[in-house]
Structure 1
């Protein structure tokens, strides 16, 4: 297999991968990171992202983002950043496509309910759930469970927000058991930063969701142009679009403003990342990992403006009464399903019932959690209707 010869010295190297937990013969025409990307795309959990949403319930409208469209947008931005920085684009893309696999139905609302339901049973964390999917729950191979991805991909999935242990960890809470258990078999260097590919993929996620929430919020009428004109980043972009295209319909002005915003954020990340790289001059990917700071980041000025944008979205979109109504329905669905399956496990499908039989109460809770977390919005709504007979448009 021919490997790219133009990568930066600090880029991850597919030919030098730390390998997979289970040994496999290498492909004659794909690098290890390309195979990781392809395995993620072909995963059942990836297909299900089509009907998982972040803010809106799936039936609210076909033009709003889903977890799938969001992941594709993140992948596009991650590849752009990786190409500009001479990183391994395939690894960055793999991480972008995989980063949301562990999210349950109904976005953060579904996650909040599962956190409560699993409080006595090692909790629920969408990042740990992604690792469970990639290493256990996906079943596509005869010789092992999971997708058997490379060390670099799993490291990036687990640590995309930075070190999980040691003095540089942002959170001091106990790690989810799924991460601890896997790291014992396949040491992911939990006390270090991930590769630069993982760092740019994480920032691509920030860029994508902030911009598509602005786009979706304006199109859905959760806030209007007058309100948005006073918001950091968004206001100047909208005014600039109106000045350039005074006769354009609002839908075009929104698209032009969001496009400009994405471009400005990408340029900001590239400038700040290059500044940090030039200051430290890392000569190997492990120097990125063992540093005492992230190398890829927004500038302080962009961070300040993004904080203002997030505050606006939190107040005017995520807490909008229409979103709150959808959230209320979602909470009722997830909590009802969990309680029923936990207290009456005979109602679980046979495949899932067989995964806990004879085991502990904690094991049953985890099986129920895995089953629900894998559902799409519409499947969870249909299960709720089948089991409880209540009206719900899914």
Structure 2
């Protein structure tokens, strides 16, 4: 059976029914169409100008949000195929998973979350859902409201990393209050999880794991090439502290030490510092490949050991071995200590947060003239200050790192105001 046949009509349904194409085109499944829509979305192109860890202008080698998303998509597609689910769904979810990220990566996300408190906060995954179902221009319903890319239910559900709304005490959530109607539609038929809470479909779990695998490995690779990480000389105490602060608060020294030993057992783990030669670059690339294979292979083996498969929608869950969780956390801790927490980066992040706050204030002061036409129209339709703030947050979140700086220069540094905004 083809994996596409494991999905029923409810899975293939779109919020707005679409008539058959009137032009000749190659036959494609609904999930192939979903993938094409995300690939061609304007928000996908903007990812090339958004920070992953290092800013896009730092070096030609390091990842940006687009290259990271492509790598996540490759991991997700391969794992999905191995587990028997539909690869196009997992790949599309992976391609889309960072669309909602604002300029300056997680730093910009945190800044916008604080600024957006009066309208419900900001969360990159909730913003992704908003882009896919509202902000991207593709399909309109009978009422004249945008349906975004109008993806299938199965694909939208796979894109939903956190299938719950914002609530007090929760930093991570997947939907804003005014997007609840489409969220309710895409979650139709979703069963409760093992503890009674929302359950993620297996395709969303694959996307999430692929993201974890990719950034745990690639952030370290970028740090090595940038000269910030030497895998032959690690400060264990500092790395362990970073792991506990950001990822696994309860992990013991013995557990983390065993995880590092496991990583060092990989054939490609270096025994000499990276020196920029083609030979050491090739060795580093082979190490990243071996680590990705190690993590995905462990998950695939554990998942098939727990259930026979194939793994589709809500019929099973991924099983991630504890050793794999610990090894990925150690890699994240290495990147966090040597890259994210470095003094120069901390200072840069403070300047970026100030820029975002000043830009939001300036846009609010000069809206709607300061906004792109589509967001200016949203501003005019907004019913109160909270809705107008959300429009400005949508506008800022859409910007790349470079365009955020340019807009800030025009409106804040040079004080052109609305009159000179489009000059």
- TM over 0.5, yes or no? yes
Given the superposition, is the C-alpha separation of residues 34 and 257 from structure 1 closer, same or farther in structure 2, using an over 3 Å criterion? same
Residue among 193, 198, 204 paired with 1:198: 204
Deviation at 1:216, TM superposition (A): 0.5
8 Å CA contact 2:362, 2:412 repeated in 1: no
Given the superposition, is the C-alpha separation of residues 124 and 375 from structure 1 closer, same or farther in structure 2, using an over 3 Å criterion? same
1:75-117 deviation line (CA, Å, top 9, x unaligned): 1111110111122111111111111111101100000010010
Aligned length, in residue pairs = 369
**Residue 328 of structure 2 aligns to a residue in which SS?**
helix
Question: 2:157 — aligned with what?
Answer: 155
Residues 1:223 and 2:251 are matched in the alignment: no
8 Å CA contact 2:220, 2:332 repeated in 1: no
**In structure 2, what is the Cα distance between the partners aligned to 1:102 and 1:186?**
18
Q: Which moved more, 1:138-147 or 1:76-85?
A: 138-147
RMSD (Å) for aligned C-alpha atoms: 3.0
More relative contact order in 1 or in 2 (CA 8 Å, sep 6+)? Answer: 1
8 Å CA contact 1:6, 1:86 repeated in 2: no
Question: 1:212 — aligned with what?
Answer: 218
Question: 1:180 — aligned with what?
Answer: 180
**In structure 1, what is the Cα distance between the partners aligned to 2:201 and 2:185?**
20
Question: 2:246 — aligned with what?
Answer: none
1:240-290 deviation line (CA, Å, top 9, x unaligned): 4559x9997432222121111111111111112112224xx68874433xx
1:33-54 deviation line (CA, Å, top 9, x unaligned): 1110001011110111111112
Equivalences for 1:41-80 in 2 at 5 Å? 41-80=39-78
Residue among 254, 271, 281 paired with 1:251: 281
Residues 1:7 and 2:35 are matched in the alignment: no
Question: 2:335 — aligned with what?
Answer: 313
Residue among 131, 134, 145 paired with 2:132: 134
**In structure 2, what is the Cα distance between the partners aligned to 1:124 and 1:312?**
28
Question: 1:31 — aligned with what?
Answer: 29
Given the superposition, is the C-alpha separation of residues 109 and 137 from structure 1 closer, same or farther in structure 2, using an over 3 Å criterion? same
Q: Which moved more, 1:316-325 or 1:107-116?
A: 316-325
Where does the alignment leave 5 or more consecutive residues of structure 2 unmatched? 193-197, 240-259, 415-423
- TM-score w.r.t. the length of structure 1 is 0.84
Question: 1:333 — aligned with what?
Answer: 355
8 Å CA contact 2:50, 2:401 repeated in 1: yes
**In structure 2, what is the Cα distance between the partners aligned to 1:196 and 1:173?**
18
Residues 1:377 and 2:398 are matched in the alignment: no
1:294-352 deviation line (CA, Å, top 9, x unaligned): x2132111112222332232222211123223312311221110011123325513512
**In structure 2, what is the Cα distance between the partners aligned to 1:329 and 1:283?**
45
Residue among 103, 122, 125 paired with 1:124: 122
8 Å CA contact 1:12, 1:197 repeated in 2: no
1:154-173 deviation line (CA, Å, top 9, x unaligned): 11112x35x538xxxx9898
Where does the alignment leave 5 or more consecutive residues of structure 1 unmatched? 289-294
Question: 2:294 — aligned with what?
Answer: 264
